[in-house]
Every structure is written in structure tokens, then in C-alpha cells.
Amino acid sequence: MNALAEELSALMERHGVKVTANRLLIARALHDAPGPLSLGELEERLDTIDKSNIFRSLQLFRKMHLVHSLEDMGEGVRYELCHSHHEDDDDDLHVHFYCTQCHRTFCLEETPVPEVSVPEGFKTESQSHLIQGLCPECSR
């Protein structure tokens, strides 16, 4: 097993996800992507894995907090690996930028999600922050 496979296996185990060959391939595809991927994009990259297997794995990854999921302006849900080392405290949340012209989503990893207070009685289970506009390439 190479170093990346070992790293991804350890990450899955930390999140309570049993490591299988297909799950490792899915995690690697998410790791190697330049930004969050949709289910369709994952299916294109992983044409050797059954679509339902990819979908079920993503659902498990979400349940076990191994991926972050974000709505992408009506184009569906996008997924990215969660590299958090804490089971209860997600320390790698960051802002995302959606380009309204090229329809790509970018991770702004150095920009943390702003802290938001919710009224008493509400319990936050997840959060995301999506900024819309033009990416540097499209704004030229």
C-alpha cells in the first residue's frame, strides 16, 4: 500500500468507516480533485465502480463525517473529504466560491467559515458558506 492509500485508510478508520477497495478509490478521487465533486463527476472518474456503490459510499461518508457536502447553486450536491482530526469538532471547515460564469466551485481553504450564532432552541448540525461571483479566470 502506498503512502496516500495508508493516509486515506487511516482517515477513514478515524471516522469509523470500514476500508474497502472501492471506498479507497472514492476517497482518492475526492482527495485528488481540485475542488468539491458532484456525484456525476465522481461517476465519470470512477467508471469501474457501480454508480449505486458510489452513491451508497457517499451517504456513509456523510453519515460518518468523512466528507463535507455542499449545495452548488441548483446543480446538486458536491462532496469533498473532511480532514478533521476531531470526531466532534470539524477543524477544516472553509468557505467555497462558486463562479457564476464557468460553474466551477473552488475551496477557499484559508478562509474559515464565519461563526454564526443561532437563536436559543436551535442546534447546528452542519454549516457551509458559499460565495458567488466570478473566478479570476472568468473576471479577466
All structural domains of the chain, each given as residue ranges with its CATH number in brackets, are 3-139 (1.10.10.10)
| Pairing status of strand 67-71 against strand 77-81 | antiparallel
From CA 79, how far away is CA 67, in angstroms rounded?
Answer: 6
What are the angstrom distances between the C-alpha of 57 and each of 5, 42, 71, 91, 116?
Answer: 17, 11, 18, 23, 30
List pLDDT tens digits, range 61-118: 988 989 888 876 666 788 988 876 555 545 567 788 888 898 888 888 788 778 888 9
Name which residue leads in pLDDT, 116 or 10: 10
Of 55, 8, 6, 57, nearest to 28 (Cα)? Answer: 8
End-to-end CA distance of the chain: 44
Q: Which of 30-34, 52-56, 107-111 has the lowest mean pLDDT?
A: 107-111
pLDDT value for 74? 62
Residue 91 DSSP symbol = T
The pLDDT of residue 128 = 74
User: Would you tell me the crossing angle of helices 51-63 and 21-32 to the nearest 10 degrees?
Assistant: 80
Q: Residue 24 has what pLDDT?
A: 97
Q: What pTM was computed for the model?
A: 0.77
Q: How confident is the model at residue 132 (pLDDT cuts 50, 70, 90)?
A: confident
Residue 42 corresponds to which cell in the numbers above?
465522481
Q: What is the pLDDT averaged over residues 43-70?
A: 92
Beta strands at 95-99 and 37-38: parallel, antiparallel or unpaired: unpaired
**Mean pLDDT, the chain, whole residue set:** 86
Whether the predicted pLDDT of 37 surpasses 60: yes
Higher pLDDT, 56 or 90: 56
pLDDT of residue 84: 62
Question: How is the beta sheet containing 67-71 ordered, strand by strand?
Answer: 37-38, 77-81, 67-71
Q: What is the DSSP letter of 138?
A: H
